[in-house]
Amino acid sequence: MGPTEKELKQLHLMEQLEKYGYISAGISFLILGMAVFVYGWVKFAREITVGPLRAVLVLMNDLLLVVILLELFRTVINFLKSRTISLEPFLHVGIIAAVRRILTIGAEMTLQGDISQPRFNQYLLDALVSMGIILALVIALYIYGLRSNSVEPTVPK
């Protein structure tokens, strides 16, 4: 026994609401990305004369965040087109986030100047963990690419 006409209408309404929810989330990712982009450049312009190294590192960190937000925006667009969610964009986001973390660690070490040995060891461990995450995600991306090339994706109707 299938769904009644009333249940079908309710399901259709729920699907429409879901679509608008995804559209709202996608637009939010785009707006946040644009805001971070503008904020990053404004902050860069203010700080470049004080400390160019710090200004560049902070701008790179902000721009990588923009790339993450745009990747999430693209994921929402692809979902709305195909009604399927791919693993690949999330692997990209994870790699970018780990790179951001390594840059942040490097920036903190550079800007602090003289740091204690225990603090240096903590930074080093943190950077090694992030590098391990990047390596694992790149391997996962490679394996996912092999699987994706050998299997044709199906789009539910």
| CA-wise closest residue to 29 among 76, 61, 64 | 76
104-129 pLDDT per residue, tens:
888 878 777 788 889 889 989 999 99
Domain residue extents for the chain: 5-150
- Which tokens sit at 97? 């986030």
Average pLDDT, whole number, for the chain? 89
48-92 pLDDT per residue, tens:
998 888 888 889 999 999 999 999 999 999 999 998 888 899 999
29-45 pLDDT per residue, tens:
999 999 999 999 999 99
Whole-number pLDDT of residue 3: 84
